[in-house]
Structure 1
Amino acid sequence: MRPRQPKSWILLIALCSALVYVALQYSPRDLMGPDTEDSQARYPETYIEGMSDRAYADTGTLRHTLNAERVIYYTEQGQTKGFVEQPHLVFFAQSDSPPWHLRAERGVADTQRNTLTLKNNVTAYSDHPEFGRITVDTDDLLIDTVRQFAQTDKPVTMRSARGITSAVGLNAELESGRVELLSEVQGIYEPQ
C-alpha cells in the first residue's frame, strides 16, 4: 500500500486562510512599523502656493503683510514650522513712518514663537522722507512678527543716498524705524 500524500489543494487553502487572517488583523501601516517623528516630518501638514497673509493690531490697523511663492508647514518635535519660498514682508508703522519691506530667497517660520527667519540674500528697505531709500543687506535675519523686531549677528551692509555703512550684527525696531548696528561699524559718508 502506498503512503498517502497530502493533497496540494489543502496546502493552498491553508496558505490562503493564513493570508486572509493577517490581512484582516493588520493594516499595511502596522506592518511597516510604528510612526516616528522622522517619518512624520517627511510629510507636510499644509502646502500653500501663492500665499498672502495679513496681520492686524487690536485697533484694526494693518501691522504687516506676508506674501510668498510657496509655504510648506510641517511638525517637528511637536512644533509647527514652515519653509517659505520667496518671502516678502511689509511692516507698517503706527505713526507716519514709511513701511519696511523685507525680501529673501527663503525663510523658516516658527508658529509657536511667532518668528520668521529670512535666509539667503536678505534685503530690507524703507523710503525715508529725509534720507531717501535706506537698504539693508545680510544673509540671515530673525524677525519677531509680534514685536516687529528684527535681528542678526551676521555681517550687514546699509546703503542710503548719503553713504554706505557696514557692520556685524543688527537690531531693528521695524515699527519705529530705529536701526542699531552692533559691532565693527565702518562707513563712507557722502553729504549731499
Structure 2
Amino acid sequence: MRTWLPLVVVVLLISAGLWFSESPPQQLLGKQPTPQQQKGAADLVIRDAKTRHFNQEGTLAYRVDADQITFFQFERRDRADLTEPRILFYQEHEPKWRTESRRGVAHNNGERVVLHGDVLITELPKPGGIKLNTQSITIKPREEFAETDKVVTITAGPNSTTGRGLRAFLKEDRVEILSDVKSSYETE
C-alpha cells in the first residue's frame, strides 16, 4: 500500500494544478461573467486551420491557412482573428499569389482581411516573381484585390521600387504604387 501512496498524491496534485490553471479566476471565486464580457468572448477557436474557397465555376479560387483562427460573432457583424495567416490565390488551377503575415483580422465572413506585421506577397512560381513587402495591407479575397496606404517595397530580382500606398489587382497581375515612388534597376 505504501508504494501506491506517493503515486496517488502526485496524480492528485497534477489534477488539482490542471483544474486551477484551466479555470478562470472568476469561476474560482464564484463570480459570473457580465453580459458585456460574455459578448466579447470568442465563439470558436481553430488551431492549424485550413480553409478552401471556390469560385462560381467550382474551381479553387483561394485558400486560407492559419496557425490559429479565433472567431467572434456579434449582433451585426463577425470577426476572425488570424495568427500567422497565409492566403494562396489560384489562377487557372495553379497557385499564383501567396500572402503571409504575423497576424490578421477577417471581417464579414472573410469579405475583407486586414494583414499586419511583416506582410509579404509573393508572385508564384518562384523564382522570378515579384515580392511586395509592407507592414499592413487590406485584402478583398473574393475580388483578388489588395490595398494599403503604408510604405511598400516591390522587388524583382536585383530591382526594387519603394513607394507609399498600393493597389494590387491580383487577377490582372497589375500593381499600382500611389505616391513617393523611388526605383532602383540594375542593367545587364
Give the shorter-chain TM-score range: 0.7 to 0.9
* Structure 1 pair 93–32 and aligned structure 2 pair: CA distance change class (3 A): same
- Unaligned regions of 5+ residues in structure 1, if any? 1-30
Deviations 1:28-60 (A, max 9, x none): xxx969623x5411x111110010011111111
Q: Does 1:178 align with 2:174?
A: yes
How far apart are the structure 2 equivalents of 1:56 and 1:71? 20
Which protein is bigger by CA-based radius of gyration?
Answer: 1
| Mapping 1:38-187, distance limit 5 Å | 38-41=37-40, 43-76=41-74, 78-94=76-92, 99-112=96-109, 114-127=111-124, 132-187=128-183
Q: 2:54, 2:62 within 8 Å by CA — same for their partners in 1?
A: yes
Q: Identity of counterpart residues, as a percentage?
A: 25
Shift of 1:167: 0.4
Q: Judge conservation of contact 1:92–1:175 (CA < 8 Å) in 2.
A: no
Q: Secondary structure at the match of 1:187?
A: strand
Give a deviation string over 1:89-110, Cα, whole Å, max 9, x none: 01112498x6000000000000
Q: Is the 8 A contact 1:93 1:176 kept in 2?
A: no
- The normalised TM-score by structure 2 is 0.76
Q: 1:166 to 1:56 in 2, by over 3 A?
A: same
Structure 1 contact 93–174 (Cα < 8 Å) conserved: no
Runs of 4+ with deviation above 6 angstroms: none
Q: How far is the alpha carbon of 1:111 from its aligned partner?
A: 2.2
Gaps of 5+ in 2: 1-30
Normalising by structure 1, report the TM-score.
Answer: 0.75
| Kept after mapping to 2: 8 A contact 1:94/1:175 | no
Q: CA RMSD in A?
A: 2.3
